Structure formats: structure tokens, C-alpha cells
A and B are shown apart, each in its own frame.
Chain A
Amino acid sequence: MTSPRLFSILRQGLHLIASVHTALDDSQLVRFQADLVERIGADRARGVVIDVAALDVLDSFGSRTLRDIAEMARLRGAVTVIVGIQPDVAFAMVELGMDTGSVVTALDLEEGLAELDRCLAASPLPGP
């Protein structure tokens, strides 16, 4: 289903942990998005952590893809937290002019999972 060399999607309790392992090109990102969204539905995940620490660049397409994933996950009743954005990458994203508004972020995987718990505790049942 997924190519283990490019990214992996693992289940942990009610959550999914999706890790990108290497720089992805646009079509690989699209496949990542499709696979992940499908897994969120199939596993009825409540939360998703996407670890992008391996990405050396998050340009407009990459950022938009992450935002789309978060939005689609929300429609399926899951909260998404992006973790592992490197300092230089974060800097480049804002210099580029990305609107980073709605996406939830955290420093790393550990923080991301804690953030998920906080979000889910705040709204125990996200939508019908």
C-alpha cells in the first residue's frame, strides 16, 4: 500500500503516526496524501501526527498538501498535528509568504502526541 522507503503510516492507539522519510516530489506527495486520508477513514483514527522532520524544503505545494490533509482529516473527524518542521524550513515558509493559519503544529513527535491528547480532551467528540 505504501512504499516504506518514502513514508510510513503507523497506528498507535486511536492515532496514526505518518512519517515522511525523505524529500518527496509532487506526485509522491499526492500519493502520500491519498494513502494517509484513506487510512484515516479505514482506521477511524481520532488523531494524526505527521512528522516532516526529514523534509529540507516545504514549498508552496508541500505546505498546501499538508493543509489539505489536515482539512480532509477534519472532515473525517480526526485532528491533525504537524511536527518536526526544521527551523530553517519554518523560516523559509514564512518568508515565502505561506499562510500558516489553521494547521496545528508541535515541536516533535512526543509534543505532537501530547498536543493531540489536549485537543481531544478539549472536545471529546469532534462532530457527529
Chain B
Amino acid sequence: MSRNENPTVTAAASDGTGHLDQDGLLPQLVAHLREHRTRLRQEWARRIQEAHLLQAMTSQEMTAETTLVYDNYVEVLETGSVEALQHYARDLSERIIPRGVETNEVVGIVLLLRDVLARSLFEKYQRDFSLLNRVLDAYEPAANRIANTVAVSFVEERERVIRQQQDSIRELSTPVLPVRERLLILPIIGVLDRERARQLTVQLLSGIRTHRAKVVVVDITGVPDVDESVANHLVRTVDASRLMGASVIITGLSPEIAQTLVTIGVDLSKMNTIGDLQGGLEEAERLLGYSVARDDGVGGP
């Protein structure tokens, strides 16, 4: 859109693109790249290996992918279609993101391909210097454009995938279970870092309101390495629940770990900790005023 409104700079900026169609250079260029497809693709694959990129892939996968990418690349050069380019980039991203490919690798391989092709164009046209200049002028903006679009699409796609994964993990990992009237159980499984502790607390708090819970049993049997930071997250969860009028019982904390936490200075006095889930549920029912199964003073301090 800026082309017509600002002719001077545009003309100064990208002389190349204009000549491209007039000279019929583009078909010539594309034909050359098609003709030497096998050799150039192998050269490219070799450079990728040298640069230690895409190491997550087997050599078969590598052959398949590089062939596909190569053909797409040339096609985009030929048609210049932005839609095709974006579509291709998104496709590529979808295929390679699950294999753990990083952004720098994608940018890296596309730039390598750009260079391999540029070098081959150079070899072909080196005897006619002015033609070479025109060919490279035509090639470079198009190739840069491809690199840029691929990188942008990859990052977008990657972010989308990550968001999706985070959402599903979040839903799976912190179920707030209403066991009986006014009683919730929150079994935590997996690593409890700050971000997860926050999500879990927010979820628990809204659960408390929805179910009008008076008592919550938080079971941490499934949390590995309960250390000072995990304990501090739990203290905040307990505090926040209490502000909503609900008592929290922590179960699944072994006496040894509890002892260690106290030794390093974690204040467990506000936490009602009970060894196992069964004991925790009995304590919860006692707090709720239901029949007391046993009363052996397992409550916290």
C-alpha cells in the first residue's frame, strides 16, 4: 500500500523487484533452481548438518523435510504469493514444532537455503556481471521476504501451540473435587512452582466460593521434592483460603520432611498437616461437625 504513496523511497529501496518481471529473469531463475534441485538440496542438507541444526530429526526425516521445503521455497519464489508463503510457513511450523525444533534453527535453515541458492546463482551468472547483479537484486528481496515471513509464522505458531499446551495442562493438573457438602479435595500432582501455585490457589478460591466450602483437604502426596519454596507456596494457599472462611488441611507431608522444613525455618504453625489422605478426611469431617470416627489428636499444633 505504501508503494504509490511514497514513490521516492520505494524506488531507491528495492530497484530489483521491478526489473524482475520485465526481464523475464524470474522464470529463468526458477528453472535453474528446479534443474539443479537434487544437488542444491543435498548441498543444503550438508550445510544444515555442519551447522548442527535440526539434530532432533533422523536423516530420513531430514531428506523428506528438506525436499518439501526446497520445493515450497522455489514455488514461492516463482509465484511470489504471500498467501502461499504464509500457508507454507504455517505448515512447516506445524510439522516441526512437535519435534522440538527451536526458532533459531528454523531461521537458520531458511537462511542457509538462501545462501546455498545465492551461491549457485552466483556460479551460474558470474561471467555476466551485470546480469548477475540483476539476478541477485531480484533474488535477494524475495529470499529475505521468505525468511522473514517464515520466522514470523513460526514464532506465532509456536506461541499458539505453547498456549494450547499450557491450557490443557492447567485443566488436567488441578482438579478441585467436591467430596461432600462444604468439603473440597485438591490433589496436587507434579512440580509445584510459583506459577502453578498461583493458578491452583486462584482455582481453589473460586471453588471455595462456588461450593461454599468450609474445609479443604490439599493432598500433596504427588508432589516431588517438597522444599522450602513449595512449603511457602502452600502457606499462601492456606492463608488465602482462610480469608475466604475455609480451613485447609494438608495431607501427604511425611513427618521427616515436616521436621526438615521446621528446621530450616518454615513456619508450619499455621498449617494443619496430617499424614495421609484418610486421616485428613476424618479431620475434615470433625471440623465440619459430622460424626467423629476417631479423635486421637492428629490435628496440627
Residues on A facing B (Cβ under 8 Å)? 82-83, 85, 87-91, 93-95, 98, 100-101, 105-107, 111-112, 115
Contacts and interface: CB of A to CB of B under 8 A. Distances in A.
A101 B270 contact: yes
A94 B208 contact: no
Given A87-B202, A87-B209, A94 B240 contact: yes
A66 B20 CA distance: 75
Which label, helix, strand, loop or mixed, suits the secondary structure of the A interface? helix
A79 to B, nearest CB: 15
Contacts of A111: 212, 214, 245
Interface of B: 198, 201-202, 205-206, 208-209, 212, 214, 236, 239-246, 270
Contacts of A85: 243-244
19 contacts: A83-B245, A85-B244, A87-B202, A87-B244, A90-B205, A90-B241, A90-B243, A91-B205, A93-B239, A94-B240, A94-B243, A100-B239, A101-B270, A105-B242, A105-B243, A106-B245, A107-B212, A107-B246, A111-B212
The residue among B202, B205, B246 with the most chain A CB atoms within 10 A of its own CB is B205
Nearest to B209: A87
Contacts of B214: 107, 111
A95 B206 contact: no
Nearest to B239: A94
B245 to A, nearest CB: 4
Nearest to B207: A87
B143 to A, nearest CB: 49
A24 B84 CA distance: 57
A25 B242 CA distance: 25
A94 B233 CA distance: 10
Contacts of A91: 198, 201-202, 205, 240
A50 B208 CA distance: 20
A91 B242 CA distance: 11
Contacts of A87: 202, 205-206, 208-209, 244
A29 B240 CA distance: 22
The residue among B208, B239, B246 with the most chain A CB atoms within 10 A of its own CB is B239
A109 B274 CA distance: 31
Contacts of B239: 93-94, 98, 100
Contacts of A106: 245
Contacts of B244: 85, 87, 90, 105, 107
B245 A105 contact: yes
Contacts of B270: 101
B49 to A, nearest CB: 49
A93 B243 contact: yes
A88 B202 CA distance: 7
A101 B208 CA distance: 19
Contacts of B212: 107, 111
Contacts of B245: 83, 105-107, 111-112, 115
Nearest to B289: A118
Contacts of B236: 94-95
Contacts of A115: 245
Nearest to A110: B212
Nearest to A105: B245
A121 B209 CA distance: 26
A51 B270 CA distance: 24
A65 to B, nearest CB: 15
A124 to B, nearest CB: 19
B208 A100 contact: no
The residue among A82, A105, A112 with the most chain B CB atoms within 10 A of its own CB is A105
